[in-house]
């Protein structure tokens, strides 16, 4: 048994079988995958990695399953799934997610390719794990919602961790109270009444972190630039999409730097924080969201570039998906009744709509092209820009 | 110039005129008025006082007015008002607010009686302050919203401070970011776009602290017991209501202890944490809120006691006011437009409704009377208690 | 099983037998005994109590004994002793320690009078505890050093807690690492090599807190004024020393306020922070420590007052004991060898001497008497005050 | 004016001239130089960089110079020097310091080569800075000790920052109190009496961090392995030493990975945390320190390898320098006298000796060679290993 020091959870205990998994090269690679991509361009402290987040998620899952009625093998399986839940991330985490999706039709939860090969496969077998069951937990297909759910070990860790490293206090919620107030009905976590506020707090934290960290415009711009450079390499055949699953941040950065041409140029821009600028950046109130969601952003880039007399490589159209107002599935027990979190919390109901408030669509380009591209983009998206200037006395 | 160490804001600088105010007996009394009454019966760390909260509020107000265009005298006046904003609190702060209101028709913001007498009056005069103007700031009647508003220095301090001492993380919001993103239009604070999330965060914090701290049932019970004991003394003539404005926690505790009879009995119960228990405790979904708000709780106590064959002194009916869904008045500047916070944030709009979720009405009594009083109270309030027990598979 | 929220250790679990002890009036009294006396006159956040410190100490002791080889009864006994270790404190904790010692010949660890009476005695018996064994643990007479030793549960809690509430960071040491690195040889705690730095850190913290908090001159002055007022009451017969063991802070404050004369005058000075000032305040380099330690401070007060033409009641001579350079008894295991902490750490050896650096002797009096009393005190103690003023270039 | 969020100091204000410096490629490179090399192999949170440390140091220096009597140009010069003080670091910071020293005869403070070239040179000139003066500040050759001294802005930042990211609490000292208590005599910082404990605390923190972080054996091993791989490349001519000054962590990792042979093998070991193990690891009490310091570690590696029948490339001899007990130069003002910190603090005097307690010499090798190499190393260094096993009762 060993201990490892974690800035979030303090001393983390590691059992032998956990160390065996951690010591595989597949897991060690997570040390070199940054947790929130290029967010350190905005928050210089945000250099944390998928490695520590994976340890933290394992720690929370372990605390939770202790309360579950299940045999030790099943508990161990869930804990192992928590530890491995991010092993499928490619360099810069979510920053290469679109690439995985477009070219390999997978998300980072699709860990088959990783777990069924190499040293990690051997170790999991030696330790007696059924890989198919671990995969189901990670993909959210098991009946247990510890690893994947609206309020799961993953989210509990990353919100606090990302908040710690960015220095943004929004993500701080009462993790110890929440853990204390979770119980199990079969394999499902239930939040006891005393944990209701902490559960609300978690979902609010997530809502808060989106615009200030995950969707901060500088992070989006760097990410889309990186995406475009990687895509360029894939399209011209110098990079195979599947290679990304074996690469770490160092590999892809070195690859882009030494590639020459457009990819190197983009990488150098990211390195020296000489990023594209916003030509337009608008919320849902300025556009017709249904129409905009149907637009192919590639095509939009080509057309806007043409209208602006610019090269298509210098224009990025960023239309983030707007998540359907899907139901939050967490369950709360109040006065001995089970209810959905949404049912008992008008705040949580509000969050579904509130996500639309923070959605932004952007068109980005080189500093010197901003004016021309803005005009073209406004035209392309049919946006009027005449904010009426209100006076203070109208409001009070 | 001196410095004082504050666990929330670090080193607080004190200028000479501030020290002169702080050194008056009227202000020193705040050292012995606990900030959140009997909350330490639930959160043993919550022993902080109005003294340190007043210093903290002053510190925040000072940071804010630096950005305001005003002459130094006006700025000093606002900072002094922040420092003095809680000088009107009676023992155990909000726990004696109902008494002040019932017998003196004042709230703790009505500081005339305090500021226009004694040493504090002299000092304010010597320092050149106009007491009437300070009073207007404290009562929220000035055109400046630094001391009193939806997002004011008072609230910014107490949410973080109460959170620190209770150990509840809900109240933690990004105070430094918010301070940074506030600017002024005339004497009114405006939140710049970059501070929107922090402003939302503040209002959410407040919403969160209500049920977990300020309205925690144990705090309510202790407070209502204390209220009832003090009322008893006033009604029988042994205590003059106006004396409360000069007393501190030590005075009233000593008074009740040495009084004998019912007041001493109640004080001993609070001292030994042998509190009344909840006979009923119900949310807004169980009752007709309009009718309930019209009920006189004194009369309800008498009737329920009679029905239960108990003494009226042993029954407490606690019907907190339900706040009207009044508008949040904070103003945000977005894309060069001024808008109300509510207009731009669906989350804030939701908070107005969400406050109803956490409202609870309670009837409290001695442990041995709980069953009888419960029956009587259910009947009195016409409450059915047949929660339908839902099954997990109905919810997922 | 219940949980209580502690700002230091988070959620503290309370078992039924612990709740039974906590619910006694004797233990509840600790809620109203401030942990570090009048330190809130300097650090306004320092309003914490012996109650929460006792819970924290219990929590640490419980974590430690889990590693000890002993039957459950013995472990429970140690945990109960940790919970009860401060039950013998009189109002304002250490501020009345001198009184207990002078008039009752006891220290706060002498808990016989408390544990062998009243409700607490009954509860301990009902729970099957042997009171004599608990007393031995608290007095440091058992073979186990968890409750009382150089590195014990008490100290681990109070250093971090006092630091938290004063806002002074000095007391922060790595408590979780230290707990992790303690093992047992029989009933004795041993520090494993990996915990050496954390153990050093604890002792350094203690050394740091002394001058900045525990022996801050304002705290000393308030404490000595309080002592003198209480002594006055005892000497004239209005207060029985043994009563202090049943009183809380509220009782003694109310008593002194209502007493009239000198005690009320002193209490009012403390209330309004209108304290005595330092006439002299000197370190060990200015005096002959051996001689000074032999002086009777009462007699010194009389003589200095006479020389200064002042009333003896207005002069306080404060000669804190200088602790013998006693050995730190903590044991460390390094390279499979057991060694004393002192042996392996030159830093810890240095601490023994360093304590002399921070020792200060003071003579305090009313502001208007400072000059006269200073002259008298300098003469009485035979102190020369001719600091040679050094220039910067002599030092670099 | 812009703000940047820092997890240590909160909102950092950036003025235009600071942004101009930060935006140069030379400064942006610091984003990709890890602050404490391979410490993340032990403390997974320790991924912070020289970039954020440089901003933090600038922030502290700015706070300090505000108190200095000097014209604005001089103050600006000092703040710029603080911002630039680490621009001379090569990949993995101190991990390549030995290489710089051996092959280029420079340390990271020798920033001439960097500041007198490229974009940074231009920007400094445009902003009106005298580069020679900045260099003197960074090298500690100016009369001002803000940037370089025993208690300087650099150290104040890195101790708190490294502590934050490692999760080790040892480095936490009261930075705000210390900053408050520093004043100036000419260009020299002086610590006022009230800051004495904070100053001691800083030096103790540093002493604590050495064995637990900076000189943790795993960090030493990874660092020496990296050093040996880089040296191999330099010796065979594939890497020019001066290139290191332009490379970042990504460059050197990519270089070693793609190099093939021994360097790639070592890099892969570091990547997969498959490090060399300790064959011997001994303190100063086991060896003759004077003799050992005279040994050439290269030659020792060759001889020990030969004795063990191993390849010299698989043996690392790590003999850290033992620092001379040089005087701490910080000055304290006590009772209106200037004194050296050492003079007034026996604790600080003790630290000079205490550094010897934590010194360790190590011989490291592949796991499978440990036994053979240990025997050879014990022989080579003439070390006896017969710890006498003491019993507990000898110690109490």
pLDDT per position as a tens digit, A142-167: 989 999 988 999 999 999 999 999 98
Token pair recorded at residue A316: 């990025």
Pairing of β C337-340 and β A2-6: unpaired
**Does the pLDDT of residue B197 top 60, yes or no?**
yes
Give the B:D interface size as CB pairs under 8 Å. Answer: 12
Among A23, A51, A166, select the one facing D44 at the smallest CB separation. Answer: A51
| Residue A291 lies inside a defined structural domain of this protein | yes
| Residue B168 lies inside a defined structural domain of this protein | yes
Prediction pTM value: 0.92
Residues whose CB falls within 8 Å of the CB of residue A157, separated by 6 or more in sequence, listed in order:
A8, A53, A56, A57, A59, A60
User: CA C162 to CA C8: how far, in whole Å?
Assistant: 10
User: CA B100 to CA B241: how far, in whole Å?
Assistant: 7
Q: For chain A, give the percent of residues with pLDDT over 90.
A: 78
Token pair recorded at residue B282: 């119900």
Residues in D 333-362 with any Cβ partner in C closer than 8 A: 335-340, 344-347, 349-351, 353-354, 356-357
The answer to whether residues A174 and A313 belong to one domain is no
pLDDT of residue C389: 58
**Does the pLDDT of residue D394 top 60, yes or no?**
yes
The answer to whether residues C317 and C343 belong to one domain is no
Section B180-196 average pLDDT: 93
Residues of chain D with Cβ-Cβ distance to B177 below 8 Å are: 5, 11
Domain holding C124, by residue range, is: 2-216+324-356
**Does the pLDDT of residue D153 top 90, yes or no?**
yes
For chain A, the first-to-last Cα distance in angstroms comes to 63
| Residue D372 lies inside a defined structural domain of this protein | no
Q: Subunits with at least 3 CB pairs below 8 A relative to chain A?
A: B, C, D
Q: How many CA atoms lie within 13 A of B161 on its CB side?
A: 27
Residues of chain C with Cβ-Cβ distance to B271 below 8 Å are: 25, 28-29, 32
Section B45-56 average pLDDT: 98
The answer to whether residues A164 and A303 belong to one domain is no
Q: Closest approach of chain B CAs to the CA of C28, in angstroms?
A: 5
The answer to whether residues C211 and C296 belong to one domain is no
The answer to whether residues A297 and A163 belong to one domain is no
Among C170, C177, C357, select the one facing D346 at the smallest CB separation. Answer: C357
Section A13-23 average pLDDT: 97
Token pair recorded at residue A240: 């195979």
pLDDT of residue C351: 86
Q: Is A183 on the interface with C (CB under 8 A)?
A: no
User: CA D284 to CA D289: how far, in whole Å?
Assistant: 6
Residues of chain A with Cβ-Cβ distance to C3 below 8 Å are: 180
Residues of chain C with Cβ-Cβ distance to A177 below 8 Å are: 5, 11
pLDDT of residue D393: 64
pLDDT of residue D1: 73
Using one digit for the tens of pLDDT, what is the confidence trace for B208-264? 898 899 999 999 999 999 999 999 999 999 999 999 999 999 999 999 999 999 999
Whether residues B346 and A356 touch (CB distance < 8 A) is answered with: yes
Token pair recorded at residue D200: 């001691």
Q: Is B393 on the interface with A (CB under 8 A)?
A: no
The answer to whether residues C158 and C192 belong to one domain is yes
Around Cβ A335, how many Cβ atoms within 10 Å? 13
The answer to whether residues A285 and A346 belong to one domain is no
Q: Is C1 on the interface with A (CB under 8 A)?
A: no
How remote is the C-alpha of A69 from its chain's centroid? 31
pLDDT of residue D352: 81
| Residue B382 lies inside a defined structural domain of this protein | no
Assign B360 to helix, strand or coil: coil
pLDDT of residue B322: 82
Whether residues B6 and C49 touch (CB distance < 8 A) is answered with: no
The answer to whether residues A304 and A192 belong to one domain is no
Compute chain C's Rg from CA coordinates. 22
List Cα–Cα distances, A98 to A91, A212, D146, D296, in angstroms. 12, 21, 48, 54
Residues of chain C with Cβ-Cβ distance to A5 below 8 Å are: 177
pLDDT of residue A396: 60
| Residue D67 lies inside a defined structural domain of this protein | yes
**Does the pLDDT of residue D396 top 80, yes or no?**
no
Residues in D 158-177 with any Cβ partner in B closer than 8 A: 176-177
Residue D340 β-bridge partners = D331
pLDDT of residue A324: 64
The answer to whether residues A202 and A155 belong to one domain is yes
Residues of chain D with Cβ-Cβ distance to C197 below 8 Å are: 170, 208, 211-212
Q: Is D250 on the interface with B (CB under 8 A)?
A: no
Using one digit for the tens of pLDDT, what is the confidence trace for C60-76? 999 999 999 999 999 99
Q: How many residues does chain D have?
A: 396
pLDDT of residue D296: 94
Helix ranges (DSSP H) in B332-387: 341-344, 346-358, 370-381
Give the B:C interface size as CB pairs under 8 Å. Answer: 103
| pLDDT tier, A393 (very low <50, low <70, confident <90, very high otherwise) | low
Among C8, C168, C254, select the one facing B254 at the smallest CB separation. Answer: C254
The answer to whether residues A335 and A288 belong to one domain is no
Whether residues D347 and C357 touch (CB distance < 8 A) is answered with: yes
Q: Closest approach of chain C CAs to the CA of A3, in angstroms?
A: 9
Using one digit for the tens of pLDDT, what is the confidence trace for B83-141? 999 999 999 999 999 999 999 999 999 999 999 999 999 999 999 999 999 999 999 99
Q: Closest approach of chain B CAs to the CA of C147, in angstroms?
A: 22
Q: D356 or A4: which carries more pLDDT confidence?
A: A4
Q: B53 or B385: which carries more pLDDT confidence?
A: B53
Probe site for chain A from D3, D24, D44 (most A CB atoms < 10 A)? D44
Whether residues B331 and A392 touch (CB distance < 8 A) is answered with: yes
User: CA D345 to CA D36: how far, in whole Å?
Assistant: 30
| Residue C163 lies inside a defined structural domain of this protein | yes
Q: Is D388 on the interface with C (CB under 8 A)?
A: yes
Using one digit for the tens of pLDDT, what is the confidence trace for A244-274? 999 999 999 999 999 999 999 999 999 999 9
pLDDT (tens, 9 = 90+) of chain C, 396 residues, equals 789 999 999 889 999 999 999 999 999 999 999 999 999 999 999 999 999 999 999 999 999 999 999 999 999 999 999 999 999 999 999 999 999 999 999 999 999 999 999 999 999 999 999 999 999 999 999 999 999 988 999 999 999 999 999 988 777 778 888 999 999 999 999 999 989 999 999 998 888 898 899 999 999 999 999 999 999 999 999 999 999 999 999 999 999 999 999 999 999 999 999 999 999 999 988 899 899 999 999 999 999 999 999 999 999 999 998 876 566 789 999 878 899 998 888 888 888 888 888 899 999 999 999 999 999 999 999 997 655 556 666 666
Using one digit for the tens of pLDDT, what is the confidence trace for A293-312? 999 999 999 999 999 999 99
Exposure class string for A70-106: b at 16+ Cβ within 10 A, else e: beeebbbbbbbbbbbbbbbbbbbbebbbebbeebbeb
Probe site for chain D from A45, A118, A172, A256 (most D CB atoms < 10 A)? A45
Exposure class string for A286-306: b at 16+ Cβ within 10 A, else e: bbebeebeeeeeeebbebbbe
CATH of the domain at A178: 1.10.3210.10
pLDDT of residue C99: 94
User: CA B80 to CA B76: how far, in whole Å?
Assistant: 6
Decide: A149 and A67 in contact? Cβ < 8 Å.
no
Decide: B150 and B326 in contact? Cβ < 8 Å.
no
**Residue B393 burial (CB < 10 Å; 0-12/13-18/19+)?**
exposed
pLDDT of residue D159: 94
Using one digit for the tens of pLDDT, what is the confidence trace for A198-250? 999 999 888 889 889 999 999 999 999 999 999 999 999 999 999 999 999 99
Q: Is C293 on the interface with A (CB under 8 A)?
A: no
Chain A's closest residue to C10, CA to CA, is A176
Section A12-17 average pLDDT: 95
Degrees, nearest 5: CA angle A365-A366-A368: 120
Q: Is C251 on the interface with D (CB under 8 A)?
A: no
Whether residues A176 and C3 touch (CB distance < 8 A) is answered with: no
User: CA D350 to CA D360: how far, in whole Å?
Assistant: 19
Q: Subunits with at least 3 CB pairs below 8 A relative to chain D?
A: A, B, C
Q: Subunits with at least 3 CB pairs below 8 A relative to chain C?
A: A, B, D
| pLDDT tier, A354 (very low <50, low <70, confident <90, very high otherwise) | confident
The answer to whether residues A366 and A345 belong to one domain is no
Using one digit for the tens of pLDDT, what is the confidence trace for D22-33? 999 999 999 999
Section A18-23 average pLDDT: 98
Give the C:D interface size as CB pairs under 8 Å. Answer: 124
Token pair recorded at residue B134: 């300070």
pLDDT of residue C325: 58
**Does the pLDDT of residue D389 top 60, yes or no?**
no
The answer to whether residues A68 and A102 belong to one domain is yes
| Residue D272 lies inside a defined structural domain of this protein | no
Instruction: Among A67-81, A342-356, B289-303, C77-91, name the one with the lowest average pLDDT.
Output: A342-356
Section B259-279 average pLDDT: 97
Among C336, C340, C391, select the one facing D395 at the smallest CB separation. Answer: C340
| Residue D83 lies inside a defined structural domain of this protein | yes
Number of structural domains found in chain C: 2
pLDDT of residue C391: 64
Among C28, C43, C49, select the one facing B272 at the smallest CB separation. Answer: C28
Q: Closest approach of chain D CAs to the CA of B178, in angstroms?
A: 11
């Amino acid at each position: 048994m060993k201990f490892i020091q974690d800035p979030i959870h303090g001393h983390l205990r590691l059992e032998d079988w956990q160390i065996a998994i951690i010591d595989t090269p597949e897991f060690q690679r997570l040390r070199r995958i940054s947790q929130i991509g290029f967010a350190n361009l905005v928050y210089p402290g945000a250099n944390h990695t998928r490695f520590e987040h994976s340890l933290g998620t394992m720690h929370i899952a372990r605390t939770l399953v202790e309360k579950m009625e299940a045999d030790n093998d099943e508990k161990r399986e869930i804990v192992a799934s928590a530890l491995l839940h991010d092993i499928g991330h490619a360099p810069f985490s979510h920053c290469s997610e679109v690439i995985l999706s477009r070219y390999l039709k997978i998300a980072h939860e699709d860990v088959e390719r990783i777990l069924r090969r190499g040293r990690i496969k051997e170790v999991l077998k030696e330790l007696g794990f059924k890989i198919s069951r671990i995969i189901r937990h990670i993909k959210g297909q098991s009946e247990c919602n510890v690893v994947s759910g609206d309020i799961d070990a993953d989210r509990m860790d990353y919100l606090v961790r990302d908040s710690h490293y960015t220095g943004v206090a929004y993500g701080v919620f009462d993790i110890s109270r929440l853990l204390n107030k979770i119980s199990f009905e079969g394999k499902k976590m239930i939040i006891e009444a005393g944990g209701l506020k902490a559960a609300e707090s978690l979902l609010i934290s997530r809502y808060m972190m989106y615009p200030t960290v995950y969707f901060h415009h500088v992070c989006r711009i760097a990410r889309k630039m990186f995406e475009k450079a990687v895509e360029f390499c894939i399209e011209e055949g110098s990079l195979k999409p599947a290679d990304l699953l074996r690469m770490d941040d160092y590999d892809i950065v070195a690859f882009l730097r030494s590639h020459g041409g457009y990819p190197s140029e983009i990488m150098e821009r990211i390195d020296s924080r000489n990023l594209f600028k916003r030509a337009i950046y608008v919320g849902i109130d300025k556009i017709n969201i249904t129409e905009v969601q149907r637009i192919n952003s590639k095509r939009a880039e080509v057309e806007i570039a043409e209208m602006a007399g610019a090269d298509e490589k210098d224009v990025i159209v960023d239309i983030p998906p707007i998540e359907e107002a899907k139901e939050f599935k967490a369950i709360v027990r109040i006065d001995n009744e089970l209810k959905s979190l949404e049912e008992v919390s008008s705040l949580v109901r509000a969050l579904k709509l509130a996500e639309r408030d923070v959605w932004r669509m952007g068109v980005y380009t080189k500093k010197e092209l901003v004016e021309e591209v803005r005009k073209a983009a406004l035209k392309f998206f049919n946006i009027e820009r005449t904010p009426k200037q209100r006076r203070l006395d109208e409001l009070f």
